[in-house]
Amino acid sequence: REESKSSTQPEAMEEENPLFSNLDLFLFTLIAGLIIYWFMSRKKAEPIPEFKKLDQPKKLLALIPSVAAISLQGRNIVVFYGSQTGTGEEFANRLSKDAQRYGMKGMAADPEEYDMSELSRLAEIGNSLAIFCMATYGEGDPTDNAQDFYDWLQETDGELDGVNYTVFALGNKTYEHYNAMGAYVDKRLEELGAKRVFDLGMGDDDGNLEEDFVTWREQFWPAMCEHFGVEASGEDSSIRQYELKEHNDINMNKVYTGELGRLKSFETQKPPFDAKNPFLAPVTVNRKLNKAGDRHLMLHFLDEMVYESGDHVAVYPTNDTAIVNRLGQILGVDLDSVISLNNLDEESNKKHPFPCPTTYRTALTHYLDIIHPPRTNVLYELAQYATDPKDQENMRKMASSAPEGKALYQSFVLEDNRNILAILEDLPSLRPPIDHLCELMPRLQARYYSIASSSKVHPNSIHICAVLVEYTTKTGRLTKGVATTWLKNKLVADNGHKSTVPMYIRKSQFRLPFKASNPVIMVGPGTGIAPFMGFIQERGWLKEQGKEVGETVLYCGCRHKKEDYLYQEELEEAEKMGVITKLNVAFSRDQEQKVYVQHLLRTNKEDLWRQIHTDNAHIYICGDARNMARDVQTAFYEIAEELGGMTRTQATDYIKKLMTKGRYSQDVWS
């Protein structure tokens, strides 16, 4: 019937002489469709509210674009942290957790993930407070995650009236710019109109950083209670931040096995490589550098990352499997159980203390620091699980700021160098749940090494040198450095497989002068020689390119020439080829009177003064901050006094000006 109907239709239409033909109708429909499509497309193209891009999240302080949301969530304390090695973040978490004991709700926040220009809106929230735990890195610099915040503070002229704040600074007195970042944040916030509600705290890692923090914290909270008119509640109760979820039936492809960010990132590597996405670099050389003993290591890594002489490489080590297994044994748990620790605060942006789901074995091996002596808050939280009342009392005492408690923590934990395993072994009544212990342990941090090669000479590899750390504690336990022990065991080929090391490059300001004709004076005893191997290689390469290269003078040192003279063959060859103008080596223990690099500087004072004062030499110091860097600086003061006819004050100012001009650079550690 359809057939007959369709066959008679044209005749009928012809007879009626219709207004539109089939072609007209088709064209009309097509044009109408195009108009509708154009109109809809035009609608989509109209401006819409601009939201932050997900690839670079800059969340508002309340996690959504309304500060009122903090009030709705009950949050009124935000603890921002600038942290390079994890301690600043750890202190921030402790302070935000403390807030609960005072009827307030706190959150720890990484300034890198927030739009800090919105800081002024904290004033809209009643009884609000911004706490800043700010570490200083390098030569008075902000930590990587606080760099944008620092830049904003320098550039902004915004007003922070009504914002309450306090700062706890983390630093080390052996460094030239002690707690510079914390002091700057404290001063700058006040200049912008914010109200300091408690004095700046100064933490010194050369002394006892934990004690400094605990003392400041115990004075801070009573002052806050008075300021906000609140009272402490439940001071003695332990507050859990995460809850345990056990996964009995889970696809193992969804379980983290040591990755720091993206799941399976070690199987499928994708640039860019950074702290959360390290590159797995194959080990191509692993040999000892010294002739006697095995203290010093040299490793070469095959690398696909761009670096420059003077940069640092960060490597992510893992803990000793024997210690991990012993922890599992002593706590009576199956380390291969798959678990997640989920934040009880569902609105928190930190969902887990480490990548989850994972196993206890992976967490203790890759994610948690189980080797350093635990901080006082860990002892306080775990004390409730000690069945011996005396153990419980001592653990709580060690967490207090009372003189007796500080002395006990100093002797039992720090001086005896007890890690968490040693504490569990020596306190048999203490057997905490492993999930709570994992919640409390700090994250295992990357280790930074000065790169001992030049990318001009070695574009596809990175070299490092390290001292193997190994010693016996007062309790008779053999303690090994986490990273150096792990690196030592990274054989070039392990059962037919290439050993790999997760790493990324951290850019440095430790740079050769722009003009190759400027002389360079390098002072680096021990492994402080590392960056100068890169500098020497680069100066040699520049000479090969026909560039005019200034004097290249090296001061290095070791204990004994026949035992631990690092890079002896390379250095002597470089001097022979004229790459090193003068090689000065201090063998500190090859004679009755100890000789160090600062003694050699004084011996060559006339040459040094000419190079610095007349020839615009650049000075570089690398190595120990506590003694060597300070003694070397003093030697330069004395040379300026004697040969420049200056007073000590003038000599000090002279060296400070060299620092300001970038002609006196330090890459030091303590």
Spatial CA neighbour of 562 closest among 291, 287, 288, 289: 291
The answer to the question of whether 8 is labelled as a binding residue is no
The answer to the question of whether 588 is labelled as a binding residue is yes
Quickly tell me which residue has 């009392």 as its tokens. Answer: 393
Residues 478 and 412: their CA atoms lie apart, in Å, by 17
CA 655 to chain centre: 30
The answer to the question of whether 171 is labelled as a binding residue is yes
225 is catalytic: no
Q: Which of 450, 453, 454, 508 is catalytic?
A: 450
The answer to the question of whether 85 is labelled as a binding residue is yes
The answer to the question of whether 135 is labelled as a binding residue is yes
Inter-residue contact 439 to 353 (CB < 8 Å): yes
The answer to the question of whether 597 is labelled as a binding residue is yes
Residues 635 and 642: their CA atoms lie apart, in Å, by 11
CA 651 to chain centre: 35
The answer to the question of whether 176 is labelled as a binding residue is yes
455 is catalytic: no
The answer to the question of whether 481 is labelled as a binding residue is yes
Q: Which of 186, 340, 622, 665 is catalytic?
A: 622
The answer to the question of whether 360 is labelled as a binding residue is no
Spatial CA neighbour of 189 closest among 156, 221, 216: 156
Q: Which of 152, 541, 609, 669 is catalytic?
A: 669
| Cα R_g (the chain), whole angstroms | 31
The answer to the question of whether 174 is labelled as a binding residue is yes
Q: Which residues of 589-599 are buried (b: 16+ CB within 10 A; e: fewer)?
A: eeeeeebbbbb
The answer to the question of whether 164 is labelled as a binding residue is no
Cα distances from 562 to residues 116, 289, 391, 555, 566, in angstroms, run: 56, 12, 50, 18, 10
The answer to the question of whether 74 is labelled as a binding residue is no
Residues 98 and 92: their CA atoms lie apart, in Å, by 10
Spatial CA neighbour of 154 closest among 114, 172, 194, 181: 181
The answer to the question of whether 109 is labelled as a binding residue is no
Q: Which of 212, 435, 624, 667 is catalytic?
A: 667
The answer to the question of whether 84 is labelled as a binding residue is yes
Distance in angstroms between the alpha carbons of the first and the last residue of the chain:
97
The answer to the question of whether 449 is labelled as a binding residue is yes
The answer to the question of whether 86 is labelled as a binding residue is yes
- Amino acid, res. 36: I
Segment (H or E) for 263: none
622 is catalytic: yes
The answer to the question of whether 93 is labelled as a binding residue is no
Q: Which positions ≥6 away from 265 have C-beta within 8 Å? A: 259, 277
556 is catalytic: no
- Which segments are annotated as binding site for NADP(+)? 295, 527, 588-589, 594-598, 631
- Which segments are annotated as binding site for FMN? 83-88, 135-138, 170-179, 205
Q: Which residues are catalytic?
A: 450, 622, 667, 669
- Which segments are annotated as binding site? 83-88, 135-138, 170-179, 205, 295, 447-450, 465-467, 471, 481-484, 527, 588-589, 594-598, 631, 669
- Which segments are annotated as binding site for FAD? 447-450, 465-467, 471, 481-484, 669
